[in-house]
Amino acid sequence: MSADWESLRSECEACRACPLGETRGKLVFGTGVRDAKVLFVGEGPGAREDELGEPFVGRSGQLLDQYFAAIGLDRHTNIYIANMVKCRPPLNRDPSPAEQDACLLWLRAQVKLLRPKVIVCVGRIAAQRLISKSFAVTREHGQFVQRGEFLMMGTFHPAALLRNPSQKSAALEDFFALRDKLAELK
């Protein structure tokens, strides 16, 4: 596995370890700055992401960008955003456990290069794979847990917030908690 971002990206581009590589449009490797203290991990690309090759650029992404902005974060200046799977699952279905497993090495390699202090799991799929199998977003969102050298937290997926806007204020509280945690870590 490559030790630099450019080679890692081109190796990932060529990956066919699961069937998603055959049906995707563009690879959605990740975006952001390479010295980010915070890594956000979503589920997998949707239609718009698949077209543009960037994570969270559809309606969900626009909402997520508002939460970033509320605490002084921005995808172009101080964070990195990736997904559990780098290729779009057809019809926006959840990535299967086997697809997530097949893709995990790319995320691990990104984490190794980035060395973030905090990893935020955006939604159930990432939180259940990276924090705990039984993670329940409605019950455990906003709680920081130490996992090795990383602090981890799970929050609502913006697509869930678009479906259920009553949870938006709870999500904002999670971002305020993240802001406070980052200030502590300075």
Chain residues in the site for ligand URA (CB under 6 A): 28, 42-46, 49, 55-56, 60, 83
The nearest distance, CB 114 to ligand URA, in angstroms, is 17
Q: Return d(Cα 44, Cα 14) in angstroms, integer.
A: 18
**CB-nearer residue toward ligand URA: 44 or 154:** 44
**CB-nearer residue toward ligand URA: 32 or 46:** 46
The nearest distance, CB 186 to ligand URA, in angstroms, is 28
Q: Which residue is nearest to ligand URA (CB)?
A: 42
**CB-nearer residue toward ligand URA: 60 or 110:** 60
**CB-nearer residue toward ligand URA: 60 or 149:** 60
From the list 111, 106, 80, the residue with the least C-alpha distance to 95 is: 106
The nearest distance, CB 97 to ligand URA, in angstroms, is 16
The nearest distance, CB 58 to ligand URA, in angstroms, is 6
